[in-house]
Amino acid sequence: MRAMVLHSSRSLLVEETLDIPDPSPDQVLVRIAACAVCRTDLHVIDDELPNPKLPLIPGHEIIGEVVAIGSAVEDLTPGVRVGIPWLAWTCGVCSFCKSGNENLCERARFTGYTVDGGYAEYTVADHRYCMRIPETFSSVQAAPLLCAGLIGYRSYTKAGAGRRIGLYGFGAAAHILCQIASHEGREVFAFTRTGDLEGQQFARSLGAVWAGSSDESPPELLDAAILFAPVGALVPVALKAVRKGGRVICGGIHMSDVPSFPYELLWGERSISSVANLTRGDGARFMDVAKRVPLKIVTEEFPLSAANEALERLRKGRVEGAAVLIGS
């Protein structure tokens, strides 16, 4: 099979021909149809997340067809389409797993980080962590749902039931959440890079009631703000934009350092929370929402061999919606 492989941090991926992996008893072998490109992939490649498996095949927003199953697999059969997300395995016995917080498992494994991912033509995955995908989405459309959708939706639920929601960083996750929030009758305020007029128009086209630069103040105080841009300096900016009792949710796995800020920005029972990984329950709940909301998933397709180009475009903020690699 062809695969794009990372051999050392802060380097380009190398296209290689590798043996197709064999599934272990609990795994399925999946022929990959599409794999979306996520900012977390950049954090892994740019050495902002520590100790990745090397060499590594990145990618954790995978859609494909099961072509073989391990001896212990009973719930999936060849021919079934599945999604393979960031969470690849958990221990099932630690206090976090037993309390329904498997996203915090200390021994968790992660697709495209500690195990090989989807920048390839085939991959293997534990059947218990594969997800059924609504038939309403093509494989290319579905790929961004596996992280931009899932992690974004977990961030959205932690933001509470407030009416006015701010989204800082209008990329793959925000473009999905904007539509869900608008469908549910909420008002979305979108914040983009300074001067990104096209991004602001994109946000308005998906239902945002207001769009501006991240250094602008919204026209009214927000009930909650979700930060997808990995910029710590936006935390005090978002705190200033939310009302008393408002929530600021940091939705990324990595963020630059948060600068000091006056206590008065936090006072008034405002709160800051991070979002770590996802659970299989998050996946089931989000896929149910995705079936009900008429989502327009905006993608830009790249051949597998152009993974470095897709990553660089994402790094520079030049992708509208989500970049998706297709194998053939």
- Reading the block at residue 153, the tokens are 């939706």
According to CATH, the superfamily of the domain at 2-146+278-326 is Medium-chain alcohol dehydrogenases, catalytic domain (3.90.180.10)
Locate 238 and state its tokens.
Answer: 């978002």
Residue 327 banded pLDDT, cuts 50, 70, 90: confident
* Parts of the chain belonging to CATH 3.90.180.10: 2-146+278-326
Domain with CATH 3.40.50.720 in the chain: 150-274
Tell me the average pLDDT across 307-327: 95
* Complete DSSP assignment for 84-124: E-SEEE--S-SHHHHTT-GGG-TT-EEBTTTB--SSBSEEE
The total number of residues written for the chain in this structure: 328
Mean pLDDT of 74-103: 97
What pLDDT is stored for residue 328 in this prediction?
Answer: 60
Name the average pLDDT for the chain. 97
**pLDDT band with cut points at 50, 70 and 90 for residue 26:** very high
- DSSP calls for 185-238: T-EEEEEESTT-HHHHHHHHHTT-SEEEETTSPPSS-EEEEEE-S--TTHHHHH
Q: Which CATH architecture has domain 150-274?
A: 3-Layer(aba) Sandwich (3.40)
pLDDT tens digits for 250-307? 999 999 999 999 999 999 999 999 999 999 999 999 999 999 999 999 999 999 999 9
Q: In the prediction, which pLDDT does 122 show?
A: 98
